[in-house]
Structures are given as C-alpha cells and as structure tokens.
Amino acid sequence: MDDPLEITYPRSWTYRIIGSDADVICDLAAETAGGREYELQPSNTSRTGRYVAYALTLVVDDEEDRNVIFRRLADHDTVRCVL
C-alpha cells in the first residue's frame, strides 16, 4: 500500500465554504481565523442566488489546527459544505 500523503506544517491551507448567507460567512471566517491573518475571496454564487461560495486561506499550525478550523466552519448553521 502507498504511504499516505505527508503534509508539512505550518502551511497555508484553503477551505472552500458554501453557504446561504455571504455576510454570515464573512463574519464566521474572521471569527474562525482567531486573530491570525487570512484571505477570504468570493468564488461563486448559485444561479438562483440561494448559495454563495468563498475561499478562506490562512496558515494552519498542524493537522489538529486544520481539523478544528474545518469543524468550526462545517458545524455552522448557514454553511452547507466545506471542502
């Protein structure tokens, strides 16, 4: 079996966030970044305008930090999906 992909930390990581409220996603990104520098870029809006997508990029310290941020984003009520 192949070795699992090894990721070196700290490193820049991008989360794709799809949700129903752009303002809430912007606030959630700032809150989740926890004072560290981050970049939040809009990436797409559904045809009906019901969903918006953003790319959140920030430096994560280790795998646990990366997973904690993922869970904070994914567990929010207005977020439909995090990639």
Q: What are the C-alpha distances in Å from 41 to residues 26, 53, 64?
A: 10, 9, 24
Q: How far apart are CA 30 and CA 39, in angstroms?
A: 9
Give the model confidence (pLDDT) of 9-61 as tens digits. 999 999 999 999 999 999 999 999 989 999 999 998 888 888 999 999 999 99
Token pair of 41, please?
């870029």
Q: What are phi and psi of 20, to 5 degrees?
A: -105, -5
Tell whether pTM > 0.85. Answer: yes
Q: What are the C-alpha distances in Å from 76 to residues 17, 21, 51?
A: 11, 11, 15
Confidence of residue 81 (pLDDT cuts 50, 70, 90): very high
